[in-house]
Amino acid sequence: MPHPGPTGLFDSGMGGLSVMREVRSLLPSEAIAGMGPAVKAAVAATRNGRVGVLTTTVTRHGECLASLLRRYTQGVEVFSLPSAGLVERVEAGHADTAETEAWLRHLLVPLVEARVDALVLGSTYYPFLRPAIQRIVGPEVAVIDTGQAVARQTRRILEEKDLLNPNGRPARETFYTSGEPAAVGAVLAQLWGRAVPLHSHD
């Protein structure tokens, strides 16, 4: 039976908003309370067999990425690049600044020189940097993140379980933070595109 209850999305930081944005676009009637790198999609997209993965240090050394690379990258050359400082820039509200773009240009030199033609954004923070990244690597490089795939999978599961909200009206988002709402709220509004209610949760 159709279910009007909310869909919960959990993430460790503000980066999860990039995934939530795609879920909201695909499922506008679902109320949302809160929130692995797209390696398979990049392998499908590459034409020259050279895939870049822009990661955090934690993701680069984690088992999740290692498992995906083992499963999907046979016959493909993978260039994994840690990207210190990008998450902090996004969380500080500096995603769209000249300084951040200059830092990205510096970071992405190895991938540009390696001539990758598919680039995985290996953090939910990185889609907020996507316009600058695309400018740097050029339009011929497919820049891929997990947001749309997660949104499609969310819809598929809700349909399978008959849990889609039946009323068809636009739903509202509810955000919670374990941080200081006043500090988090300004960056949240910038990344989400408008001011939204934010609640404190320990």
Contacts of 58 (CB under 8 A, 6+ apart): none
pLDDT higher than 90, residue 114:
yes
Nearest Cα to Cα of residue 145 among 13, 52, 9, 50: 52
pLDDT higher than 50, residue 193:
yes
Give the CA-trace dihedral at 14, 181, 21, 52, to 10 degrees: -10
**Which of 28-32, 94-98, 161-165 has the least mean pLDDT?**
28-32
In tens, the pLDDT along 123-179 reads 888 989 999 999 999 999 999 987 777 778 778 878 887 888 777 777 777 778 877
**Which of 19-23, 115-119, 129-133, 150-154 has the least mean pLDDT?**
19-23
Position 34 scores a pLDDT of 41
Position 4 scores a pLDDT of 57
Domains of the chain by start residue, with CATH: 7-35+148-200 (3.40.50.1860), 39-145 (3.40.50.1860)
Cβ atoms of 173 and 151 within 8 Å: the answer is no
The tokens for 15 are 């980066």
DSSP of 88-156: HHHHTT-TTSHHHHHHHHHHHHHHHHTT-SEEEE-STTGGGGHHHHHHHH-TTSEEE-SHHHHHHHHHH
Provide the sign of the torsion angle of the four alpha carbons 140, 146, 152, 153, taken in this order.
Answer: positive
What pTM does this model have? 0.72
